[in-house]
Each structure stands twice: as structure tokens, then as C-alpha cells.
Structure 1
Amino acid sequence: MACVQLSDTIATVTMTDFPGQCVQQSLGIGNTLVSTLLHTLLAAQCSLSPPELWPKDYGPTYIEKGLDTYDFVVIGAGTAGSVVASRLSENPKWKVLVLEAGGDPPIESMIPAIFFEVQHSKYNWDYYTERDGKSCLGYKNQMCYWARGKMIGGSGAINAMLYVRGNNEDYDNWERMGNPNWAWKDVRRAFEKSLQTNESDSKGSACVNHFDEHYPEIRRMLFSGAKELGLPEFDLAKGDTHIGYTTVRGNVKNGIRGSTGQTFLAKGKDRPNLHVIKNAVATKINFNDQGTQVTGVEFTYNDHQKLSVKINKELILSAGSLDSPKLLMLSGIGPQEHLENLGIPVLKNLNVGDNLQDHLMIPLFFKLDESKIRAENMRDQLDAIYTYLVNQTGPLAAIGTVPITGFLNSDESSSSPYPDILYHNLFMQRGTSSLETWMKAVELSDGIAESLREAHRDGHLLQIFIKLLKPKSTGKIRLHSADPKDPPKMFANYLDDPEDIETLLRGIKFQMKMEKTAAFREQNAEIVKLDIPECDKFEFRSDNYWKCYMKYMGNTVYHMAGSVKMGPDTDSGAVLDWRLRIKGVKGLRVADTSIMPSIVSGNTNGPTIMIGERAAEFISEDWNTISDHTEL
């Protein structure tokens, strides 16, 4: 059965392996029971991402009959683009086309516990940052691997699904930066509008629910250790507390990933006014002769057919913080000197690609006494596969460990109620491939990887991601060339600002305090020393050791943002106005994480859904105030 492809950590099953007939004598009913079970499991697996779940590819129809002019074209069926397209197509008078560079998600995308398996595949752009000698030194070629989704659902189809809104100060600050109607009181409504839960009959489409939980010993250790250090347990969903440890929810429903590609875009797949062309890579935005109005977009279909579509009203660019600036620069909107050096005619001289921000994370590893935590044996793992395929529950419906997140204000001299550090946790059970899967995904260098393997042979590992919430360092996106096939040129510039280093150091020291709590000592939790020769010159656990460690182990948590910044005319770095319109050009907006003037204090997927909702609202408001046949 070709659909059997869960991962290399889950046994591949074929009908050849299990023909349904035993060599010993049987009256028949025994063989029938086994065959029925196998067919049931295979059918359950194939039902995780069947073709009929997703919008059909309109590309073949276009090739046969040609394309009409669309009112709106959305580039990217990712987190925000799926929301925008779905909302706009709710108006039956508007024809909406979505251009998505990838196809339907694979089965692995739908199973929460194995999301790392989708990296380094055709469903991912496989981007790498430029080498700078200051960060990601412990990874392949000393470059950071920046995974970006290339399928319906975009990066929301390959992420860890954690749903975190950020806090009210994030959005109130956006308004103070000159972006009216982006304060918490404004965006909160959009968050609520998008939301649905298992317990709610909300009209929203974004599914946000609790994950299945396992390993209660880890839960107790984290919450109890934090409590010993004065950090309370709180309910993140209430939004009135911002410091402490909390159980975080995710974009999951009934044990299956719920990207907006599924919950928004696929929801409207039968609307006659909504079309989706898959494997369509946008290459250039077209404008009128004066360069003041978008008229269409060119794209490549199935890697070789060059096509184009005309636009009556607007183009909405939702390709993400890496590819949205790339397409703008390829089309002549960007830094003048950079475009001229590449021979690209300059339409608008704007700071596209600047202000790139990301949540740099430092992974810290705790070795745990395996006798203290019940480990799963092979029978348990087979039970987990069966339980998931039949009921969509169990360990495969979880994300590595209990989904607990910690928020910390690491500056003891500050009384701020808002965090500057975020902690995520990933449990790696001894005797499983969880560590190898993670190391393969991030491409950890051989020497460091071997020291982790050695620790994992003797016990479980708990990986704690120490995440910098409010980075002072900023990077940028540029083009390698004028060829659309080339990836964007990405400068992370991690650790450029000394303040970032000091904040991360405080975040590490807090975990050193956690190690000494009674809760951590009860599990014999101990920080693992990795094999990093340059850092071994310093005393283990000293400030200088950890500063060296940051350079090697620091990497992304895939929260790139800010590269097509919104802001007022007085902000020379702003590319968009507060309604997300490119300055000086009609009919062109951006809706994804790239619009953020400053990155939010948490995972970016939830805020990106909100941005999609806001963009759809702005577009609808603008076009409902004028005739449907009048250009804005």
C-alpha cells in the first residue's frame, strides 16, 4: 500500500509483509481477523491526508481553458494566506485565486509527534542562512537551517503547533510605533474571531485545543521546580498573567494537526469563486506603465510552465518573512542600490528585507534517571501506533512531552510583568530515535552529536529550549541574483547586540537554578556537558563557557518576522502602511509575519492567523465602500 509512510521510526507495513495467510493450519476465521485488522489500520492511515480533504488543483483547468481575470490573487496558502483567501471568498461576488508553491501535505505532517520528519523533504524550502562565524557554529557548514513549509498550510503544516498569542504589551507597542488599530484591544477581536475549540461552537476556523499529555513525572518536575523558584503556574489562555509556567494549547483537533490550510482554505474548497493552483511559484509582480498599480503576477507551474494571471483588484502577498521580501525585490520593490547591482529595474526604493527578527534559542540538555520515569518498550510503541491510527490519541497525538511552556522576566532589577525569556521542552526517551530525529532535522555537527548520543545511552534526555523573546539584534533578507530559482540570501545576525547575550545568559542561569531544586534532584536531572573544544577552554558552567556555547548551539525556532515592516510615513524603515498596503503602489498588500514591526513574545503561528484575519478585514472594508467595478 503506497500510502504507508509514517516515518523511519514507525514500521513500514505492506500487504506483502502481511499476506493475511498463516503457514499453520487455520479454519479461516483467524486469518480473516488479521486481514481485517490490517486493512482497517491501512485505511485509517490513508485517511489522515486524503486528496479529497484538500482543495483540488485548478492548474490543469487553466492549462486547458486559460485563466480569467481574478479580483484577488493570494500568493501562498500558508498560515495567513489560507485565512485571507478563505475570508475573501466568503463574498460570492469576488473571484479569488491562490498560488501555492507546494502540494497537499503528507501523512507525516498530520501526526503531531513526528513533525520533524517533514524537514529536508520536498515539502520544505530547505533554506540556510549565510555563514557569519558568530552563530550556528555547531551545525552543518556552520549555517543555520531555516525550515519553511512548501505545501498547503505552509509552515503551519510543519511546526510544533503551539498556539501562543503573545501579550498585550506586544500589540500596544505596535500602536505606539505608529500603527493605529493594532493595539491589543483591536487585535484581540481578530484572535477570537478566528478561534474554535472542541468545547466551543464558535464560528471561527482555527482549531486550538489541548494536546494529549504523557510522562506526568516531567510535568511535576517542571511545575514544581518553577514553583520552588517563585514562578507560579498560570492559565495562558486567560491572558491576564504573563510570567510563570503554563500548559500550552496547540493547533490540533482530535489528535490531528489543524493548519489553516485545512481549517480555513479547505473549508472553502467547494466554493465556485475560490480556485487554488498548486506547485505554482510566483516569480514576478506586474504593474501598469506608471508603476503605480498592480496588474497581474507571473508564476511557474510544475517547475517548467511559465504562466501569468491578471488581477482586477488586489494581490495579497503571504509567502512569509523570507519569500515575501524576495518576490518584492525581484519585482523592483526594495533597496535601490541592491536592486541596481543585480540589474533589476527599481520601481520603489523601500527598505524591503530589513528589520528581520527571530527568536534565537539555546538548547540545554538535562540527563534524567531512567529508573525514575516509566519508559515505553516496543510493545508500548506498537500500541501507540495502533491507538493513534484507530483513535488519534496516545503518544503520537502529543508533541514529545507534556506541552509545558515557561515565561520568565530574567532581569531581577526589573519589575516588568512581561517576559524576555521563553522555555519550551522536548523529552527524548532512552532507547528511541527521538534524539537522532532532532539531530538530523537541525543537522547537528558530528562531534557534538556523539556527546549527546553518549548521554542518551545511559538515560533519558530533556531538551529545554531557552528562547530570546525580544531580540535587539536584527538581520536582513537580500537576493542572491535576479533569478527567481535562487533562494533568498539570509543574514540572521544572531548575537550581534551584547544585550541579547546577557539576556540569554540569565535564561541559562535560571535553568542552572532549576537543576538544584528538589523537584529536579528527585529525577537526578543533570545538565549535559557537550563536546565543544573551543568552549572547553573555559570552566564548565562559567559565564564565558555559556557565551561560547551560545555561538555553537544557538539556532532558530522558526519564528522569522519583520522583514516587510509596517509603520507610519515618519518611519523610514517601514514598507507598509498600517492597513498592510505597500507604500506608493496600489493593489498590493502583504499579510504574514513579515509585517510585524517588532516580534511578539511567543510562538508566531497564532499571531499570523490574526494578521490574516486583519488583512481580510481591511480589504473587505476598502472594497465594500466602493463599486465592485472600480479600482482602488
Structure 2
Amino acid sequence: MMDVGASMVDTCPGNLQGLSSYLFITLINSLFGSKCKLGARELYNDDYAPKLRDGDEFDFIVIGSGSAGSVVSNKLSENKNWKVLVLEAGGYPSALSDIPGLMFFLHGTDEDWQYKTEPTTKSCLGFKNGQCSWPRGKVFGGTSVFNAMLYIKGYKKDYDQWAQLGNTGWDWETVRHYFKKIENVQDPNASDQYGRNGYMMLSKISIVLGEMLVKAMREAFENMGYSSLQEEEPAYPMGTLEAYQCNKDGVRYNAAKAFLGKVKERPNLFTSLHSFVNKILIDPSTKTATGVEVKIGGKILKLKAKKEVILSAGSINSPQILMLSGIGPKEHLESLNIKVLKDAPVGYNLEDHMINIGTLVTFSPECCKAETFQDQLYQYFMYQKGFLATSGIMNFWNFFNTRNDSHYPNIQNHYFFYPLNHQHYLEQFLKSAGVKPEIVADSMEYIKRRPSVIVGNTLMNPKSKGRLTLKSSNPEDKPLIESGYFTDAEDDDLQVLLESIRFVEKMMQTPPLNKFDPQILRLNLPDCDKYEYRSDDYWKCSLRHLTTTLYHPTGTCKMGPVGDKTAVVDPKLKVHGIKNLRVADASIMPIIVSANTHAPSMMIGHKAGVMITEQWSNQKTEL
């Protein structure tokens, strides 16, 4: 490892003596001391992996420590008589992960599974090898370790639709109480729809550097007839919203830190890191899950679950593990010589929020404050404030309906803001997404002298569906991800995103934004040059090139009642046809929510914990 101290050079030796030298050393010591707040290992549970032995027995084994897994494990371990084991394929979160503004610097590292979609002629054409990158957390805390920390629950209609499909107990009136139980909102002015006593810290972090631009965007929306939203679930849920973030005092508050680290003293809760689950062990005669096969430190262990195995590995890993265990589409499993224990539609119904990252707008420098990156580093390491303490202006959103055919929005705009002197943020974002190098280089040239924003038009209710399958029967082979982007028969998804770009063009011409001379840039897309710039055909071509994931894959272990042939789990999250096995994560969503999926995933984890507790204690339990 490089010796950082050896690389430091005193460019002006001898100029600091006496008191001035003391003051300077005090400053340096303060900066070095502040880094101890980041990646603090004492905030997390001890690693039990070295103590595990073949044949060890627990009441519950939870696979995955992310947004849902951490929460269900927390709830189950409230019962002191139950031994709960959490298996996580990754290790402890790095110090870098605690710095909100550097989240994209974690993509592509050892803390990321580094998944990519399969090439297609319909989407991801502007990405290397025609593959969109799908970062997922391979780390204690899962994807909550490097997501945007945004906390939004979705709309009443989302959950009422789930219930209408036969999923009793998943309507909005029921699930909203489970949300409140996980929340610990730090805003004294928050409405009573938010909880105050849960484990997840929620804060509204001040937007810095981009506050003038955000003010102008809010005014632009008002100019177009949209109001400012104070809550998530108003009667008319369109307009601008500044969301809560899973952030405490400028430091990321990931799920493992909140739900496992806060209860690390519980003697019945065990967390095992670098523990790669090969498959779930199922008794073929009784179709009962009995434990797991897990690889730890080069050894294969078989661990027993007396009561249940709970699969909370996310929308990619959960269906992969089910199929490796013999639960999945019969023909697909047989083609890989995997013994079929249950023919089920695992891996189907893959839905994701598509986001267009091809609308890059620059503004005149007057729109925004300008500070050097060094200034921001100082602000952060001394006070955990400034640009690095936030996810930029990504907690500022606007919701609108491109067709005015519903009082619910069909588009959510995310804003990726790059101030002057911070161009490396844009470069890192584009590289982490897997954008072709020539497009990255071209974009960097554009923004050298002007602040910029990627207006991320996000499709909230996609009609396109994808599918996940196994590459082989080897657990260490990454699964095949067919995103399904722009595969709906009527091309409606493409049309709605085109309409959203037209909306942004009009928005930029409103007086509040037009005064900052917004310029929508023409990116390096040779395949689109045959079309007139900014024509419908040009934008459709651009969308097929530069639409990617908002990191919200869902639905691959779909929830549905008995008799629903498209469902993998029932409303109690039990796998159809298999005893003592449940799935609790975003993969169970029958329809993707109209929101970022972190908060709904935590709610799913908590509701699962309550349902499991009620079954095994044979009594009603507290939410």
C-alpha cells in the first residue's frame, strides 16, 4: 500500500514557526481525526464467519444484509429465544461509502457485484459492448451502501394495486404503518405520516452549490402549473419535492448500520461476512427448506435452519439462488442439469425504472456558486458539510404526467448536478454507468467552462418487462440479465420518455431558467446523426443509446395468491410449494412502485419480520 505521508511535499519549508506552526499542526490533526468518523468498524456487528462450523444450527437463516435483509433480521432477533444468522457475500463497508457525494466511486469496486445486461438492438447502445451496468451491493448493508440514500415510499395506488391482485395485507392503509415503524425522522417539522422511533435516520440535507439552480427549477415548475409538494401522498401528487435521505450529520446511514449495528449486542444475532451462498438445502421428499450451503474462506459448509430460511438477496441474487436450488422454470433448469424441485416462474416479471441520462444541459456560471474541490474536501472532513455531505441535488425531484391523463405522474425527474471545478464527478458517473469512452470524452469537453446538469427523465410505470436466467449451474457465474428496456409491443415506454424530453425543453425556456442560458448539448452519437437534431427520431435514437437503470430492479420473485401462475411467493412471502422458505426483498413486488425502491424494500423486510414472528410465536405481535 502506498505511503501517503511519503508523497507529501512541503512546498515552502521554514515559513511556519512558533505559534503559527502549532496552529497549522492543530488543523492537520483535526483533519486526520475527522476521518475516524468514516467507515468506523465499531458501528457494525462482529464477523461470526470464522466461528461457523459445518452442521451449525440456527432458528432462522437470512441470506443478504441489504435494505430488506437487515430489517427482517432485526425484527426476528427481538425474540431472545431465537438464534438468527445473517449471511452476507461481501465485507464491511469502506470509509469511502460513508461519504454521500462519492457514491458513484463505489461502482465497479469489490463492494459491487458488477452486473451487466445482455446486449440487445433496442437499448443500451451507447454503452460499452451494448451493455448497461447494473451496480448492486456486495457488502454488509447491500446496495444501501452506495445508493443515493433517497427515502420515498411510493403512492397509495401502488400498494392498492398489489392488494387488488389478491395480495391481502399489502394495501396502502396497511403498509403505511410498517413504514412508520422503521423511520426515525430528524426533521422537527415533519408531518405525522413519518415515524420518530425507528432505526433508520432520515434527514433533509441542505442543498449546496446548486441552491440557486434548484430555486429556479422550482419556479420553472410553478410557471408550468405545478406546485411544491410538502408530503409524498398529497391528493394531487405532482410537482416538486425535496426528499428525506438516509443520512445522519452528513454521513451515509446504510441499512446494516441502522438495523444490525444498532442491535449488535444481541447475543442471539450472528452476522457472517464473505459468506457466499451456493444454494438452499431442500428435502425433496417433503419439499421443506432445511438450511443452506455456503462457501466461507474456501470451505463449503452446510448450515441448518430449524424454522425458516429467508432469502433477502435482492432482485438479481434471490432468483439466482432459487434456481440454483431447483426452484424455477422447469425447462430452463433441466437444460442446465439442475434437479427441479418446483416448477415456478422465477426470474420473470423483471421491472426496472429506466432513466434517460442523455439530456445534458449546461448553464451560465451565474446560476451556481463555485468552489474548488479542495474547499469541499475541507468542508466535509472538518464539519461533514458541503457538497460531499449530500447526493448533490438528487434529493430534489419533480413529478409530472406527460399526457395529463391521470392525477398521478408518469415521470420523475432526477437531477445530476456538476458545479464548476467538479467535472470529475460527471466523468466518474458516466464511467461507472459504462458509457462509451468517446461519449464521456465529448461530454467532458462541453462542461469545462459552464456548470451542468443531467436531467434524468425516469419512467415510473414501465410496460416493458425483462427476465433473469442462469448462465450455468455454477453459483459463481453471474446470471444473464435481459433488461427488457423498450420491448413493449406499442413502444409506449419510448414515447413517454420522448414526451418527457419535450417537457424538459419547454421547462428550460421558462423565464426562471432561461435567464441562465440553458444549452441542451448534442452528444457524440454517430448512429443518431442521420436524424435532424432534436427531432422525434433523433431523441428516440438518443433514448435507445443512453437510457439505463436507476438501480431499481424488481419483480423477479413475484408475489401473488395461490392460483396465480405468474407468482413465486404468496402474500405471506412464502415460496409456493416449498415449506419454511420465504423471499423478502424488492423481487417480490408484483408491480414496481412509483418511487425509489430503498424505502419500500425496508418496509417489505419489516412486514416479513412481523409475519414470521406471528407465525412462529402463534400470537399477534407488535408492528
TM-score, length-scaled by structure 2: 0.94
Post-superposition shift, 1:183? Answer: 0.3
Corresponding residue for residue 568 of structure 1: 561
Deviations 1:328-383 (A, max 9, x none): 0000000000000000000000000000000011121111112442211x3xx333
Amino acid at match of 1:434: Y
Q: Matched residues in 1 for 2:69 and 2:582: separation?
A: 11
Amino acid at match of 2:369: R
Q: Does 1:43 align with 2:61?
A: no
2:154–2:232 CA contact under 8 A, matched in 1: no
Post-superposition shift, 1:13? Answer: 9.1
Corresponding residue for residue 443 of structure 1: 434
Q: Matched residues in 2 for 1:349 and 1:581: separation?
A: 15
Q: Matched residues in 2 for 1:351 and 1:117: separation?
A: 35
Q: Residue 483 and residue 291 in structure 1: after superposition, are their counterparts in 2 closer, same or farther (change >3 A)?
A: farther
Q: Matched residues in 2 for 1:387 and 1:457: separation?
A: 23
Q: Does 1:477 align with 2:468?
A: yes
Aligned-partner SS, 1:315: strand
Deviations 1:524-577 (A, max 9, x none): 012111121121111111111111111100100100000000001232100100
2:91–2:140 CA contact under 8 A, matched in 1: yes
Q: Matched residues in 1 for 2:588 and 2:266: separation?
A: 29
Q: Matched residues in 1 for 2:152 and 2:212: separation?
A: 24
Q: Residue 445 and residue 22 in structure 1: after superposition, are their counterparts in 2 closer, same or farther (change >3 A)?
A: closer
1:244–1:408 CA contact under 8 A, matched in 2: yes
Q: Does 1:340 align with 2:334?
A: yes
2:187–2:204 CA contact under 8 A, matched in 1: no
Paired residues for 1:295-306 under 5 Å: 295-302=290-297, 304-306=298-300
Q: Residue 383 and residue 447 in structure 1: after superposition, are their counterparts in 2 closer, same or farther (change >3 A)?
A: closer
Q: Matched residues in 2 for 1:543 and 1:333: separation?
A: 44
Q: Does 1:391 align with 2:373?
A: no
Deviations 1:150-192 (A, max 9, x none): 1111001110111111100000000001101100001000001
Q: 1:102 aligns with which of 90, 101, 122?
A: 90
Q: 1:292 aligns with which of 287, 295, 310?
A: 287
Post-superposition shift, 1:451? Answer: 2.5
Q: Matched residues in 2 for 1:444 and 1:128: separation?
A: 12
Q: Matched residues in 2 for 1:148 and 1:574: separation?
A: 24
Paired residues for 1:221-236 under 5 Å: 221-236=216-231
Aligned-partner SS, 1:236: coil
Q: Does 1:309 align with 2:309?
A: no
Corresponding residue for residue 535 of structure 1: 528
Worse overlay, 400-409 or 535-544: 400-409
For structure 2, list consecutive stretches of 5 or more residues without a partner in the other structure: 189-194
Post-superposition shift, 1:35? Answer: 2.9
Amino acid at match of 2:400: L
Amino acid at match of 2:342: K
Post-superposition shift, 1:291? Answer: 4.4
Worse overlay, 345-354 or 359-368: 359-368
1:243–1:408 CA contact under 8 A, matched in 2: yes
Amino acid at match of 1:621: E
Amino acid at match of 2:304: K
Corresponding residue for residue 506 of structure 1: 499
Identity of aligned residues (%): 38
Q: Matched residues in 1 for 2:498 and 2:342: separation?
A: 42
Post-superposition shift, 1:464? Answer: 0.7
Q: Residue 13 and residue 388 in structure 1: after superposition, are their counterparts in 2 closer, same or farther (change >3 A)?
A: farther
Aligned-partner SS, 1:396: helix
Amino acid at match of 2:204: H
Q: 1:349 aligns with which of 343, 347, 350?
A: 343
1:236–1:247 CA contact under 8 A, matched in 2: no
Corresponding residue for residue 259 of structure 2: 264
Deviations 1:14-52 (A, max 9, x none): 333559998427655443433333232222113211221
Q: Matched residues in 2 for 1:593 and 1:173: separation?
A: 16
Q: 2:542 aligns with which of 536, 543, 549?
A: 549
Q: 1:54 aligns with which of 19, 26, 44?
A: 44
Post-superposition shift, 1:123? Answer: 0.4
Q: 1:92 aligns with which of 77, 80, 86?
A: 80
Q: Matched residues in 1 for 2:566 and 2:23: separation?
A: 67
Paired residues for 1:362-511 under 5 Å: 362-363=356-357, 364-376=359-371, 378=372, 381-401=373-393, 403-412=395-404, 414=405, 416-432=406-422, 433-497=424-488, 498-511=491-504
Aligned-partner SS, 2:227: coil
Worse overlay, 399-408 or 317-326: 399-408
1:83–1:264 CA contact under 8 A, matched in 2: yes
Corresponding residue for residue 191 of structure 2: none
Q: Matched residues in 2 for 1:20 and 1:424: separation?
A: 43
Q: Residue 492 and residue 291 in structure 1: after superposition, are their counterparts in 2 closer, same or farther (change >3 A)?
A: farther
2:55–2:301 CA contact under 8 A, matched in 1: no
Deviations 1:84-128 (A, max 9, x none): 111110110110000000011011111111100101100000000
Aligned-partner SS, 1:316: strand
Amino acid at match of 2:237: H
Q: Residue 447 and residue 17 in structure 1: after superposition, are their counterparts in 2 closer, same or farther (change >3 A)?
A: closer
Q: Matched residues in 2 for 1:522 and 1:248: separation?
A: 27
Aligned-partner SS, 1:564: coil
Q: Residue 569 and residue 369 in structure 1: after superposition, are their counterparts in 2 closer, same or farther (change >3 A)?
A: same
Aligned-partner SS, 1:463: strand
2:160–2:171 CA contact under 8 A, matched in 1: yes
Q: Does 1:558 align with 2:548?
A: no
Corresponding residue for residue 132 of structure 2: 144
Q: Matched residues in 2 for 1:155 and 1:453: separation?
A: 28
Paired residues for 1:517-532 under 5 Å: 517-532=510-525
Amino acid at match of 2:124: C
Q: Does 1:202 align with 2:192?
A: no
Q: Residue 511 and residue 23 in structure 1: after superposition, are their counterparts in 2 closer, same or farther (change >3 A)?
A: closer
2:148–2:394 CA contact under 8 A, matched in 1: no
Q: 1:278 aligns with which of 254, 273, 276?
A: 273
2:284–2:341 CA contact under 8 A, matched in 1: no
Q: 1:78 aligns with which of 44, 62, 66?
A: 66
Corresponding residue for residue 312 of structure 2: 318
Post-superposition shift, 1:242? Answer: 1.3
Amino acid at match of 2:374: L
Q: 2:6 aligns with which of 11, 16, 27?
A: 16
2:498–2:539 CA contact under 8 A, matched in 1: yes
Post-superposition shift, 1:239? Answer: 4.2
Amino acid at match of 2:318: S
Post-superposition shift, 1:212? Answer: 2.4
1:348–1:584 CA contact under 8 A, matched in 2: yes
Amino acid at match of 2:453: L
Q: Matched residues in 1 for 2:16 and 2:250: separation?
A: 38
Q: Residue 196 and residue 25 in structure 1: after superposition, are their counterparts in 2 closer, same or farther (change >3 A)?
A: closer
**Number of residue pairs the alignment of both structures matches:** 609
Q: Residue 28 and residue 205 in structure 1: after superposition, are their counterparts in 2 closer, same or farther (change >3 A)?
A: same
2:155–2:233 CA contact under 8 A, matched in 1: no
Q: Matched residues in 2 for 1:42 and 1:617: separation?
A: 43
Amino acid at match of 1:577: D
Corresponding residue for residue 238 of structure 2: 243
TM-score, length-scaled by structure 1: 0.93
1:140–1:445 CA contact under 8 A, matched in 2: yes
Aligned-partner SS, 2:417: strand
Post-superposition shift, 1:616? Answer: 0.4
Aligned-partner SS, 2:484: coil
Q: Matched residues in 2 for 1:161 and 1:583: separation?
A: 33
Corresponding residue for residue 168 of structure 2: 180
